[in-house]
Each structure stands twice: as structure tokens, then as C-alpha cells.
Structure 1
Amino acid sequence: MSLRSFALYFVYFCTNNTDTSHTGTPYMFDWNDLRYFLELSRRGRLSHAGMHLGVDHTTVARRITALEEKLGIILFDRTNRAYSLTAEGRRLLIHAEEMEAKSIALMDDITPAKEGPRGVVRLATPEAFGSQFFARHCKNFHAYNPGIMLELVAETRQFSFTRRDADAAITLARHDHGRVMSEKLGDYRLGLYAAPAYLQQRPPIVQLSDLRQHHFIWYIDDLQPLPELQLLDKAIPDPKIIMRTTSVTGQANVAESGLGIALLPCYLADRMKVLTTVLPGEVSITRELWLTMHEDTRHMPHMECVWNFMANLISGERPVLMGHR
């Protein structure tokens, strides 16, 4: 047995192990079975959990079945290929995550590692924030936290902490559903941007009313996942939209090609040298950035590292987020 496995067994044996109904001695979970349980609860599919654990999906299925048989309960509802926790599974999840947190803390205490806290954190962000802003700082995150594997999910959609879609999320509004902890970290600004090639071929823009003669690139309304991003109609009266896309990065690239004007985050558009601002004094929208984590994991050492890094990053990069042109 490895030192890490011993620590896991030790923590659980000392804190939770009181069932003597079968043998007269405390029943000890096989931590490996709980590892499979934790990964499947977080990934939702056997293949995804197996990939993360480095085993075949049939191995995951076998270990979950074995755990259910030992406990005498059903931990997952099976719907097609998706696995979701039952009420019993959710109760076990609380204890399993406590064991995981205690074991990590114990290992950090008895065998301090130069690399600091260890773990895997799936961070969900809006598409442009993750791919165009945070991705540029991942090298620094790894330099300070080499023991943490970061999984960046940069998609503009709603995430469920109940379904464990993510361990942490950057959102545009406070997340107040379920057992989560949210904190506002800062703001970012959006403005109108266009390519000089477009502006030179169209009527001049001196005031807000001049925008009625211009073309805009925007989201697809019925595929807009976040109400916080329904901004264009509020900023521009009756905009003439010539093209729509679900991607903010796509909007920026279309504007760069010279097709029209786009309402873009400054942290994205200011880096594109071809784009220039349009009526920056009249059209300026500020949105919030919130960091949310499940309250059961918020104070785990590796989650604390992510929280602190994101808070410091957003505070330190305020000029970029708010626009520096």
C-alpha cells in the first residue's frame, strides 16, 4: 500500500469508521472504489471518468457495482450512458469529498511537497474570458501551482454545480442556487469596435444616431445562453444586424474582416490591432465577474489556490479588463 493510500485509510478509519454489524470490527472502504465513485460523480459518464483515471470504462463500471454491492445501496441512476447521483449517492459524496480533503491535508502536513497543494480543478468560464483572457495567464498559474491540474471549460452557457459540471466557475452574475459560495472579483467593459476598412467605406459616425446606417455583428438570439449578455439592443436603438454567431471570438474576427461593427469585451478587442473603437465616450457597458465554488470544496487547499489566483489576477489586470485605449 502506498503512503498516500495509507493516509486515506487512516483518516477515514479515525473519523468515520464505526460500522461493526458484520464482523465485529470496523468496516473499511476500499479508497480505490471511492476514487472511482468521485470521478464518475464529477464526470457523469463512464468513459470520461475512465479517461481521467487512466482506465477502461468497464473498470469504472465494475468498481461502482462493487461499491454499491458492499454498501447495499444504489449510488447512480443510469440514463442511457449518463450517470447521475441518487439521494444515497449525494449523501455518500459529501463524506467522500471530506475524506479526499482530509487525506490531501494530511499528506501535505506529513510529507510537505515543494509543488504545494495537489488536485484537479475544472474551471468553467464564459467563452471569450476563458480562451482570450485567462488562457494567457495559465502559464503563471502553473508556475505557482505545479501540483494542480487545471481543466479550463471556456463555453458561454449555464453550469450546474449540482451535476458537478465544474468545480469552480467565473460567471457574470452572482450564483445563488444550491450550496455554493460566490464572490465578486471585479468588472470588465464592452465597447463598439470596427475595422478601419469598414469605417472608411460607410457614413461617418459622429453621434449615436449615426449608427442607424451601419451594420452589426451579434449573437443568435434564440441560442443566447446568458441573459447578462443581451446587451446590444440596450446600447443601440434598433441595430441593423447583418450576421450572427454564438462565439464572441467569432464576432471579433468577423468585425476584423470589415463586415460590420461588434460590441466586444475590451480585453479581447484591444489586442486586435486592426480594430478601432467606435463612440467610446457614448457606448460603454460594464459587466461583473464573479467566482463561484461549491461550499463543500471551497476551502480545500487546491481550491483555495485557484480562488486566490483568480482574485489577484482580476484585480491586477483591471486596466486590461476595463480597456486601455
Structure 2
Amino acid sequence: MDWDDLRVFLAVARAESLSRAGRRLGMDASTVGRRIARLETALGRVLFAKTPQGYAATPEGAALIPHAEAAEAAALAANEVLAGQGGLTGQLRIGAPDGCANYLLPQIAARLIEDHPGLDVQIVALPRVFNLSRREADMAIAVSRPQTGRASVQKIADYRLHLAGHGDYLDRHPPIRTLADLQGHRMIGYIPDMIFDPELDYLAETGADRAALSSNSVSVQMQAIQAGAGLGIVHDFAIPFAPGVRRVLTDRISLTRSFWLLRPAEDRRSDRLTRLAEAVAAGIRREVQRLEGLVATGT
């Protein structure tokens, strides 16, 4: 059985779509479809059933998946042996919530591609949890530890959040010294029904029952705060990227959250992905410490 055919099969099994699999493989959907048909003919088995939701693996297809994954792991291991312990190459796709993706991962990716010129880094910023079993990413950053699934989970670092506003907005309003002083202020936060993780539900910390301006994106919230639209709870590590934004009530409203690194469990056998995971985790720890240090010292 040809490994390249198995590679196409595995992409469709994970994406449950010819077009999504094709985009990941760099092929058009019709080519992917022909490759699957060829494999099915060679095996004398139907591997996928077309449904309104996409392509679902049949029992025969599901039975083939672990063998295809074993072949994939062997191919990756062979590449690692040939590449040796020098520079890392190939593609690395990292999925992350947009706060991490916007304010931390660009610096980390810049260092990675500087140290490893043969490496292509893709940052997928989405305000939701990634499905690693479908290989939406090689690794993902999460804001809470998953309670189910087969993913390999590693705590990266704690980070802090505080209530903040732009200086122009704060100067136009009376001083904020107590929680009671927040009454009448416009609040900025998440769209309630689009909060994908309970760890992101910050509004109750302020005593407010509604946000006058809301978004599912951390960076949009920060832009609104910087535009003087109101107050919001923001990551300390994002404040150095928003000139004029200042923390308020730091002694009363202070949150600590954590970043977790998630990887498919089977990838723990890959030296290449382990080295990349270690580099990403170390980079996040370094950047959180550096940026929060700038805020603490007022630099």
C-alpha cells in the first residue's frame, strides 16, 4: 500500500471534507476524490460514506485510521533521522486563542524561523477550542485544561489580567478608587453567548451585568479600550502593545489564568514535534514574563 495514498486518506478522515483535506495537502478537491476512489478500488473496500455533513469514515475506513497514523509516524521519524539534530524543517501549525496569537506567538514564531530557516510556521487565531484529532493544528494553546480526550497536555505558564482603560477615557471621568466607582462606566467584554471557555467570563469581576460594547475577539476589545470606548479586563501582556492604556483598581480586580499546550498523544513519539513544543512553551513563558514585567515597571 502506497504511503502517499494513506496520507490522502488520513487527511480526508480528519477533515471529513475533500476540499478541506485538499487545502491541507495542496491539492484540489477533485484530485483528492480520485485518490480516495483509487485507494478504495485497490483495497476493494468503501472507506467513506458521503453525508450531508461531509465524508464520514465507514467501519472499514475507521479500522484503517490507526494503521495510517502508524505509517505517518514512521514517515515523520524517518524524516527526523535524515534531518539529524540540526535545524528543524517543514510546517508547524499552531492553533491559539486570539489573545495569545496576537500578542505572544508572533515574537515566538519570529525567533523560530530565525533559528530554523527551513521551518514554516502557521498561526491560526480562532476564539474557540481546536480539534486536534482532526489535525486542525499540530499543537494548540488552550486557556483551560481539557477534561476529556487523548491529547497530551502540558501547563505552560500563568498570566495575569486587570481592569484597564485608555488615559483619555479615564481623564474624562471621575477617579476610580473603589468598585462602587465603576457604576455608570461603560464596560467592554466578550459577547456572552460566544464565550467558548468559562475561564474567559470576566465581566462578573467588575460587578457589571452587561457590556456596552462586546466582541468575541481579545484584540477587538483592546482596540475598543484604546479608542476610549470604556473599561475592560485585559491581559497584562497585551498592554505594552496599546499605548495609553492603563490598569485601574489593581488591588481589587486581579485575575490569574493559565495557558496549556495540547498535542495529539501519538505525537509524543516525534522528536521533531517535541522539540518544537518545547520551543513554543519556553517562548510563551519568556514573552509573558517580559511583557508583564514591562507593565509592572511602567516601562
Alignment TM-score > 0.5, same fold: yes
Structure 1 residue 113 displacement after superposition: 5.6
1:170 aligns with 2:110: no
Larger Rg: 1
Distance 1:265 1:88, change over 3 A: farther
Label 1:122 to 1:84 Cα distance change in 2 as closer, same or farther (>3 A): farther
Q: How many Å separate the matches in 2 of 1:53 and 1:65?
A: 17
2:77 equivalent in structure 1: 105
Relative distance call for 1:158 and 1:149 in structure 2 (3 A) is: same
Gaps (5+ residues) in structure 1? 1-28
Unaligned runs of 5+ in 2: none
Moved more, 267-276 or 85-94: 85-94
Structure 1 counterpart of 2:229, one-letter code: L
Over aligned residues, Cα RMSD in angstroms? Answer: 2.2
Q: Residue type of the partner of 1:260?
A: G
Aligned to 1:67: 39
Alignment partner of 1:231 out of 202, 209, 212: 202
Looking at structure 2, the residues matched to 192 and 31 of structure 1 have their Cα atoms a distance apart, in angstroms, of 53
Alignment partner of 1:156 is 2:127: yes
Alignment counterpart, residue 190 of structure 1, candidates 143, 149, 161: 161
Report SS of the residue matched to 2:67: helix
Shift in alpha-carbon separation, 1:253–1:112, aligned structure 2, 3 A: closer
Residue by residue over 1:264-311, the C-alpha shift from the partner in whole angstroms, topping out at 9 and shown as x without a partner, is 111112321121111122211010111111111233133212211122
**Which letter maps to 1:30?**
D
**AA matched with 1:286:** T
Matched residues in 1 for 2:149 and 2:216: separation? 28
* Cα distance in 2, alignment partners of residues 145 and 43 from structure 1: 29
Query: Separation in 2 of the partners of 1:192 and 1:174?
Result: 24
Q: CA deviation at 1:252?
A: 0.6
Cα deviation 1:10-40 (Å, max 9, x = unaligned): xxxxxxxxxxxxxxxxxxx022211211222
Mapped to 2, the partners of 1:145 and 1:93 lie a distance apart of 32
Task: Output the CA distance in 1 between the equivalents of 2:144 and 2:131.
Answer: 14
Structure 1 segments, 4+ long, off by >6 Å, are: none
Deviation at 1:261, TM superposition (A): 0.4
| Matched residue SS, 1:152 | strand
Contact kept, 8 Å, 2:240 with 2:291, in 1: the verdict is no
State the match for 1:22 in structure 2: none
* Structure 1 position 46 matched with structure 2 position 15: no
Higher mean Cα deviation, 188-197 or 300-309? Answer: 300-309
Q: Return the TM-score normalized by structure 1.
A: 0.83
What corresponds to 2:229 in structure 1?
A: 259
2:211 is matched with 241
Shift of 1:240: 5.2
Deviations 1:174-198 (A, max 9, x none): 1232221101111111111111111
Equivalent-residue separation in structure 1 for 2:60 and 2:31 (angstroms): 22
* Cα 1:314–1:47 shift into 2, 3 Å: same
- Do the aligned partners of residues 171 and 279 (structure 1) sit closer, same or farther apart at CA in structure 2, a change above 3 Å counting? same
- Assess if the C-alpha contact under 8 Å between 1:76 and 1:84 holds in 2: yes
Is the alpha carbon distance of 1:288 and 1:116 closer, same or farther for their aligned partners in structure 2, counting shifts above 3 Å?
same
